Amino acid sequence: MSKRTQLVLNQDVSKLGKMGDLVEVAPGYARNYLLPQGMAYKATPGVLKQVERRREQERQRLLELKAEAEKQKKALEAIPVLTIAMQVGENDAIFGSVTSQDVADAIQAAAKQEVDRRHITLPEIRKIGDYTAEIKLTSDVVAVVKIAVVPQ
């Protein structure tokens, strides 16, 4: 069996790794594809130190993002209830439905917090009543807010 070659990736390579990852590949794959295409470079002790430093910076950045998300979660969950007024028809049915954009606007008005509507998970809201929505702030921080849909 031939010796594997250690490389550091310059860019994301599908089924191999992300930019900055240290990978071990067959010498032929390195020599014939990754190195000539500029997708990777040889791993030297200096390069390995750079990779480790970059990983540590990324880890710190993720910790800061999580701390920021936790702070935002506390602010969102401090809102007792988001009230959204909708036009009402028969049997407490509302015209249309409450969308994630409606919730994002209500959060902006109530807590002065900017929330991306694509990160809001709602049940289907077609009647007057109380509901809960989940807001995914990061992959592991989720805030839950109460919504009261009232007649306009």
Domains within the chain, CATH numbers bracketed: 5-65 (3.40.5.10), 70-151 (3.10.430.100)
Which tokens is 109 given?
Answer: 């008005």
Residue 110 near residue 84, CB atoms below 8 Å: no
| 33 DSSP 8-state letter | I
- What is residue 138's predicted lDDT score, i.e. its pLDDT? 86
pLDDT digits (tens, 9 = 90+) for 3-48: 888 898 888 888 898 888 889 999 999 999 999 998 998 888 888 8
How many angstroms separate the CA atoms of 112 and 110, rounded?
A: 6
| 88 DSSP 8-state letter | B
* Residue type at position 12: D
In sequence order, what are the residues at sequence separation of 6 or more whose Cβ sits closer than 8 angstroms to the Cβ of residue 49? none
How many angstroms separate the CA atoms of 52 and 57, rounded?
A: 9
pTM equals 0.64
